[in-house]
Structure 1
């Protein structure tokens, strides 16, 4: 565990957590992590005093088991634990905490022992009468010594030799600080010297009082031993309980330390799940002082990190492994609570050079030993830094391609960092492999510490070398030796990454626009619902007032007296006048060419400026306010609109710069090659690599014939020997 913590750069973070423990222990939990998480969550809602600092008591428990006698200070360590749990049981906890502390029954004999001690670990007065008598005698003896020394200080003969008028306690003895030559006046023993060269002297005249004190101290030790023996006998009787409560104290100590640690740094607990989803959201590695939060999706079996040197690939690998480790043992860390982390039985970090001269193991041999152990294990998460380390890159690419595909079939997740483009290209077609490329800012010539999903990144080795002091002329020579064809391939890779980034930004912009549209739609729907409710209320009010007016009119008709009939009719008229008809305001949008009505005349809108419009009414042009116009009919002439033709071409999501046709029949190969070239053209690639192998030559012949006749293929040549030689073609589009 310690080795893994050091590999992942977590030692400082874990040490800070341990500083909150009441006593030293490992961070490993025993039991169900979900149960621990529940109790930690509940404890976070309460405020109470911290656990006391307690020594490790494993050897003391063994001593009790063997009927040994504990020292009084060792007994007090147990008493501190007992008193703390008695305090916790008095708290008004609920839920799981209540059930936990309710089950802890402290025996009355153990509680009685805890009452023997004060807060300083001393036996209280009243526990043992003889001990109380000895303590009283010691107190009187101390006062007698101090009284005698005070009298001695004030004697005339001693005054010239006194440095000060204080009584000094030196190594448990009361002494006076005197100048040289004091022995002519006072007989005594020198017990120490001060920095100024003076002497701490204990007068011989108090030797009888000191002897009496020593006798009392010895008697006190005998009494304390007797009490310790009785308590140790009681502890032996309740040994099982003491073992249990000692273990429970570690449990509550684990909880409280983690809560205090999380509060000290605004850290979160992420409970591991049994889900296959592994997503880090805004994770910050504890070892970084000013980290750039990373968000990464590890739902597939393999993550392959490529791209610029010193661009953060290794730290992403360590972050993924660290999140699993800290989540597994409920160590709080900085991340968004939306993060989801699976539970793994084992965590393996293959980060260092395994070369060992003593055991005759080379770098590559050591890597093979590390990988060989993985095939016999399950529920593992493995991080491999610089996977191609120590051997020929082409051979390593084929070997590790096979190894990783076999590991994918098991319950193992693998994180890989590499600069090996061939291995990345070979694995890019596997649905269980996710590619991430570390990005490089070419304008400012430095890594961005950001990652682009779904693409292979350039290493920028020459740029990195220049950044770290390699002379420019050496880099230029190296570029010439490297070869133009490889540079073009790197440019193609970079172009692909740039296009992916642009597409990602466009998608984000489109998502934001869709979100805004949806919010606007919801707002309009709410406004419509409110308007409908207001309309229904107004209709009900109108109906009620109309019915009341009708009733008044009927009463007027039935009235026999003419004057009374007029009175009812007047009342009905009054009701009709008071009826309020709701005015429905409708926003009318006017456009040039609309037919409108202005007062009693009709015309056509010629132009609109602000809140006014020029209107042609029977050949007379007038400027009027828009609010004074009403729409009337259709425009005199409706302009014909040209039909819009839209062609949507979707960029392929999995387009790559290479295609492997090994093992295919000619017709299958040509079909895949045709689709591959179409996808590359859409993606904007101008140079690609096609592997067909040598074999019998049939597949090679079919590929060449197809490329000769394809209208979008400018030219093709055999690949460089490092890229397949005669068994591959570099195709320019």
Structure 2
């Protein structure tokens, strides 16, 4: 494992990660980082990184500035040592950092009640706010490391007394300076041995008197303490000694307080170091534009557009590779400097990154697993000291690996079997791959041997892959192609470089029939792969179109049913209202007749009028209209092929494709075909076929759109916009086939054009131009 970490440059990963830590504590953890081999722990570490990523997204990084490693100072305080002012300030900074982080996480929950960061909450719960000790240190010591007067009343009193004495000394010395100016070298006051003195000329030593404390380098000036201030200087010294003793007492008391919370500070330091390490992972991932990988326990690797983290973003070519599901072994072939080794290192390093709790530089959908060990034999390990050849060195490493490899291992071989006789090396490589595969390990290997190109076709669970090579530019593209073994391209490259056909033909004659068969097989595979990819793209587009049409149809049917239900409910409500009104009117008439009968004054014409009122109270149902609708509904409707109709169920126009039975038709509505009952159709126009024929002929006569589009010299983005617009115009003009002229050039416009046409809903097919059509500089498009 240590060898794999070294050849995969895991140490460089640590160093880059350490560069994103905010403190020496976090840097230390980053530099000591190791991949984990427990699935549960790896998953937990990734979840912590995910929580930290969410915190950064919402609020930015944790407030960890100024955090330093004070473990040694805290241990000394715990055993009774007195810390200096700078050491106490560093301890206070750690206390402040812990308090800030705890407050930060608590505030995060207050501002975002729905946020869930259980693992970070556990870290925050371990932090202790040591406010009293922190404030005691800050109260006693200022930012410059000076013990302040406010540290204690005694210190304040001593310093007040000291300032008074110093003022008295200065006053007396000022008088001496004024009265003895000619005896002095300079009219200044200075300090020697913590006592105030004045600079006296050598010749006036006896005349001036006092105590000599120092002299100048030349000996011409003596620094003398005048006799008049000796006593007051003595008093100042006494006060200063008391001041130092008081400061020592204050620092000792503060150190004792620090020692009293030793355990809490050490826990805070550990937690803050872990948090700094975690958020360094987030910052590093953001710099790489990394994404969260999905973790599986099936030993499957699925990298999507993965990038090696040490290659600059503008130079790296992403790879997409899978290993462990459909096949457990991957054999990669291709030219030198084509990117094979980088591909192996990308697989191995990203696997180590995820097992270290890091996000990986790849697209969403990337999956990685957890292996018990990652083994790698990469690079030239030739040892001069041990007199080992390249082959011997590789084999020594591989032998050591084979003693440990099992089904929970990921194994990476670079140029397996190289450095010895090609035939023996190839046989040995096949045997080693078979042995590793037998043990159930996941393995990716690179090779030059043509024998291994056919290896995948004779072994179940083995897949060929190759690094693409551009014959036109004679350079590798660094793209990984899965399912296709690499071609040597030696003859083609030689031809492009000017080697005569005669020499090339002679060289071909020396190539064995087996090699020719392999190259022929590779050519067929490449062609088949291209056809399969094109078909896959077409199917994806058609499936997408179908899903859109289905969703649109279902949405319209849902809307229709909703409107129908609304109409039913409205009709029922209206009917209930009409019946209620009729009942009310009838009851009023009956009540009036009863009263008249009781009075005995009912007359004939009043009875007739009452009957008319009862008849008028009956709800009006518009019988004639209802009958007409019923007759129309029972009338048999017939439609002919191509006839333009309206589908009343979802208010859309279309035309008849075919009749299914007496009462059902297949109707083309927009881009989808649906089966519709005859009762739900209305005639609105003539045959679609006739209409299109007449309309198409007139459009062709009137349209100014040409049957070809020239995109030469146009940037890719602008060209695709013009191409999209042109296809619409060509359809309106009735063209069945058009030509897109993109030229050869770098191939960027050609590739972009063909990729765009693959996914276009109105493109039936496309092909390169033939003889007389412009060749590869033209794409002929059949529209539908």
TM-score normalized by structure 2? 0.60
1:307 CA drift (Å):
2.1
The 5-angstrom pairing of residues 692-703 of structure 1 reads none
- Structure 2 gaps of 5+ residues are 110-116, 176-180, 187-201, 203-213, 591-605, 630-646, 660-664, 666-677, 697-784
Give 1:53's match in structure 2, choosing from 66, 79, 98. 66
Give me the whole-angstrom Cα distance separating, in 1, the residues matched to 2:167 and 2:374: 66
1:114 CA drift (Å):
4.6
Give 1:288's match in structure 2, choosing from 311, 322, 334. 311
Checking the alignment, whether the CA contact within 8 Å between 1:269 and 1:330 is kept in structure 2 is: no
Give me the whole-angstrom Cα distance separating, in 1, the residues matched to 2:415 and 2:244: 66
The 5-angstrom pairing of residues 24-423 of structure 1 reads 24-27=27-30, 28=32, 32-43=41-52, 44-45=54-55, 46-47=59-60, 50-60=63-73, 63=76, 68-91=81-104, 92=106, 93=109, 95-105=118-128, 110=133, 114-116=137-139, 120=143, 121-132=145-156, 224-264=247-287, 266-270=289-293, 272-289=295-312, 290=314, 291-299=316-324, 300-377=327-404, 378=406, 379-410=408-439, 412-423=441-452
- Asked if residue 500 in structure 1 is aligned to residue 503 in structure 2, the reply is no
Equivalent residue of 1:50, what SS? coil
Checking the alignment, whether the CA contact within 8 Å between 1:591 and 1:605 is kept in structure 2 is: no
Checking the alignment, whether the CA contact within 8 Å between 2:137 and 2:254 is kept in structure 1 is: no
Give me the whole-angstrom Cα distance separating, in 2, the residues matched to 1:147 and 1:515: 97
1:545 CA drift (Å):
5.4
1:264 CA drift (Å):
4.9
1:224 CA drift (Å):
4.8
Give me the whole-angstrom Cα distance separating, in 2, the residues matched to 1:577 and 1:122: 107
1:322 CA drift (Å):
1.5
Partner of 2:655: 589
Partner of 1:561: 608
1:4 CA drift (Å):
5.8
- Asked if residue 608 in structure 1 is aligned to residue 679 in structure 2, the reply is no
Checking the alignment, whether the CA contact within 8 Å between 2:141 and 2:151 is kept in structure 1 is: no
Please give the per-residue CA displacement for 1:344-387, whole angstroms capped at 9, x wherever unaligned: 34333322212112112221121122112223335332322222
Please give the per-residue CA displacement for 1:135-174, whole angstroms capped at 9, x wherever unaligned: 67898999999999999xxxxx9xxxx9xxxxxxxxxxxx
Equivalent residue of 1:436, what SS? strand
Checking the alignment, whether the CA contact within 8 Å between 1:82 and 1:114 is kept in structure 2 is: no
- Structure 1 gaps of 5+ residues are 152-156, 163-182, 184-188, 193-201, 614-733
Please give the per-residue CA displacement for 1:272-320, whole angstroms capped at 9, x wherever unaligned: 5434221112322222221333222122432221123322222221111
Partner of 1:197: none
Checking the alignment, whether the CA contact within 8 Å between 1:10 and 1:287 is kept in structure 2 is: no
Give me the whole-angstrom Cα distance separating, in 1, the residues matched to 2:8 and 2:222: 64
* Higher helix residue share: 2
Give 2:487's match in structure 1, choosing from 454, 458, 462. 458
Name whichever of 562-571 and 520-529 sits farther off: 562-571
Give me the whole-angstrom Cα distance separating, in 2, the residues matched to 1:475 and 1:225: 95
Checking the alignment, whether the CA contact within 8 Å between 1:71 and 1:225 is kept in structure 2 is: no
- Alignment CA distance shift 1:590-1:481 (3 Å): closer
Checking the alignment, whether the CA contact within 8 Å between 2:331 and 2:452 is kept in structure 1 is: no
Equivalent residue of 1:83, what SS? helix
Give me the whole-angstrom Cα distance separating, in 2, the residues matched to 1:283 and 1:145: 78
TM-score normalized by structure 1? 0.64
Checking the alignment, whether the CA contact within 8 Å between 1:457 and 1:497 is kept in structure 2 is: no
- Alignment CA distance shift 1:115-1:398 (3 Å): same
**CA-based RMSD:** 5.9
- Alignment CA distance shift 1:41-1:90 (3 Å): same
1:7 CA drift (Å):
3.7
Give me the whole-angstrom Cα distance separating, in 1, the residues matched to 2:611 and 2:353: 93
Please give the per-residue CA displacement for 1:704-724, whole angstroms capped at 9, x wherever unaligned: xxxxxxxxxxxxxxxxxxxxx
Give me the whole-angstrom Cα distance separating, in 1, the residues matched to 2:102 and 2:364: 32
Checking the alignment, whether the CA contact within 8 Å between 1:321 and 1:347 is kept in structure 2 is: yes
1:483 CA drift (Å):
4.3
Please give the per-residue CA displacement for 1:462-486, whole angstroms capped at 9, x wherever unaligned: 777999xxx7559996884464545
Equivalent residue of 2:367, what SS? coil
